[in-house]
Amino acid sequence: MTDALALGMGSCFGSGYALVRLGLLASQAGTRWRVLDRPAPLDVFVGRTAELGHVAEVVALVQSGQPWLVAIEGDPGVGKTALARRCLAQARGLRVLSARGDQAETDLDFGLADQLFRAAGGGIGPVPPAAGTGPAASSFAVGARLLEVVGEQQAAGAVAIVVDDLQWADRRSMEALTFMLRRLSVDPVVAVVIYRGPGGLLDGPARRMLRSVENRARIPLGGLGPDEVASLAAALMAEPLDPWHDDAALDGRSRMYAVLWRPLLAEGLIGSGQAEQAAVVLDQLRAGSGQVSYIQPALAWLDGWLAEQRDHPEEALRIYQLGEGTVSTRSPVHTARLLLAHGRLLRRTGNRKDAVERLRRAHALFSALRAAPLLARTEAELAECHLSGGQAKKQSVLALTSRETEVAHLVGKGLSNPEIAAELFISRKAVEYHLGNIYAKCGVQGRQQLRRFVDQWRQPAAV
Are 155 and 186 contained in the same domain? yes
Which CATH number do you get for residue 190? Answer: 3.40.50.300
Report the largest interatomic distance among the alpha carbons of the chain, rounded to a whole angstrom.
81
| Assigned domain for 187 exists | yes
Last residue of a domain, one of 377, 394, 411: 394
| CA pair distance 176, 109, nearest whole angstrom | 11
pLDDT higher than 50, residue 9: no
| SS3 state of residue 196 | strand
d(CA 322, CA 311) in angstroms, rounded, equals 19
Q: List pLDDT tens digits, range 207-256.
A: 899 999 989 888 888 776 666 666 666 666 555 555 555 566 566 777 77
Q: Indicate the residue among 394, 414, 447 that finishes a domain.
A: 394
Is the same domain home to 190 and 210? yes
Q: How confident is the model at residue 257 (pLDDT cuts 50, 70, 90)?
A: confident
Residue 202: predicted pLDDT:
85
Quick one: which of 272, 329, 265 has its CA closest to 297? 329
**pLDDT value, residue 11:** 31
* Final residue before a domain boundary, out of 394, 413, 448: 394
Could you tell me if 297 and 328 are in contact, meaning their C-beta atoms sit under 8 angstroms apart? Answer: yes
| CATH number where 339 lies | 1.25.40.10
pLDDT at 250: 65
- In terms of domains, do 323 and 450 share one? no
Within-domain flag for 249: no
Q: What torsion do the CA atoms of 41, 47, 48, 54 make, to the nearest 10 degrees? A: 100
Q: Residue 393: is its pLDDT beyond 60? A: no
Q: Tell whether 40 and 109 lie within a shared domain.
A: yes
Shared-domain flag, residues 381 and 424? no
What confidence category does residue 290 fall into, taking pLDDT thresholds of 50, 70 and 90?
low
Choose between 395 and 348: higher pLDDT.
348
> For residue range 422-463, what is the model confidence (pLDDT) as tens digits?
888 888 888 888 888 888 777 778 898 888 877 766 544 433
Residue 382 within a domain: yes
Write the pLDDT tens digit of every residue in 70-98.
999 988 777 888 889 988 888 888 899 99
**Structural domain total, the chain:** 3
CA 168 to the chain's CA centroid:
17
In a domain, 34, yes or no: yes
pTM of the model: 0.50
Q: Are 73 and 110 members of one domain?
A: yes
pLDDT reading at 38 higher than 80: no
Q: What number of residues does the chain have?
A: 463
Structural domain including 403 reads 398-458
pLDDT band per the 50, 70, 90 thresholds, residue 68: very high
> Is 384 within 8 Å of 356 (Cβ atoms)?
no
Whether 177 has a pLDDT exceeding 90, the answer reads: yes
Q: Report the distance separating Cα 3 and Cα 145, nearest Å.
A: 30
Is the same domain home to 28 and 133? yes
99 and 163, same domain (yes or no): yes
Q: State yes or no: pLDDT of 395 exceeds 60.
A: no
Three-state secondary-structure class, residue 2: coil
pLDDT tops 50 at residue 161: yes
Does 209 share its domain with 112? yes
pLDDT mean over 281-290: 82
Question: Angle CA(406)–CA(409)–CA(179) in degrees, nearest 5?
Answer: 70
- Predicted local distance difference test score (pLDDT) of residue 137: 74
Contact 225, 78 (CB under 8 A): no
CATH code, domain carrying 406:
1.10.10.10
d(CA 165, CA 131): 31
- Mean pLDDT estimate for the chain: 77
Is 239 contained in some domain? no
The reported pLDDT for the residue numbered 170 is: 93
pLDDT, tens only, 303-317:
999 999 888 989 999
Same domain, residue pair 60 and 195: yes
* Claim to verify: residue 272 and residue 195 sit in the same structural domain: no
Both 332 and 390 in one domain: the answer is yes
